[in-house]
Each structure stands twice: as structure tokens, then as C-alpha cells.
Amino acid sequence: MKKIISFLFVAFVLSISATNAQRVKVRLNFPVGISVNAGSRAPFSGAVWVGPEWVWRGSRYECVPGYWAKPKRHNAVWIPGHWKYSRRGYRWVPGHWNY
């Protein structure tokens, strides 16, 4: 009986440590110094601020700073990227132009 209780206790402790080993930290905010809003006036007429984005490089996401862009079509609207949750975790949905 003692062997069974000891075995169950060890199995319980190992299962707890295994679940902790699978945690992943995700920073959902941009790093300090990266501005979400345009820091200056538009450099040319019709310029649109494209905010910072996350890009998957290698084995992690890296932040790409925002920039001013010229839309390819008249009245185009920039739709910013966002984090989307799925069963496998969060993933970044990149921003895109809406024509």
C-alpha cells in the first residue's frame, strides 16, 4: 500500500512540474521607445501612418517600428495588425491595406 501511495505522489509531483515547463511568455505590448502613434507630421501629402508591427523571425516575434507610407490606391485605409488567440496560442495577424 505504501508503494502505491508513494508512486502516486511521485507521479503527481512530476505531472505538476511537466505542466510548468510548457509555459510561454508573450509580451503583447510594443517595447519601450516604439511609438504606436505618429511622432511627427506627415512628410508628404496623402501619407498614411503605418504603426509598428510584429514580424516572425527565426523562433520569435520581433518588433518593426512604424513608418509613413503612400497608399497604392486612392482612399485606401490601413488596417493595423492585432493579436489573435487560437487553441495553439496567440499569433500576430499583420496589418493590411483595405481598398
**pLDDT, tens only, 9-66:** 777 777 766 555 555 565 556 676 677 788 889 999 999 999 999 999 998 899 999 9
49 neighbors 56 (Cβ within 8 angstroms): no
pLDDT over 60 at 3, yes or no:
yes
Give the per-residue pLDDT at 46: 92
Which grid cell is 91? 499569433
Which grid cell is 3? 508503494
DSSP E strand stretches across the chain: 48-50, 53-57, 60-64, 67-69, 77-79, 82-86, 89-93, 96-98
48 neighbors 72 (Cβ within 8 angstroms): no
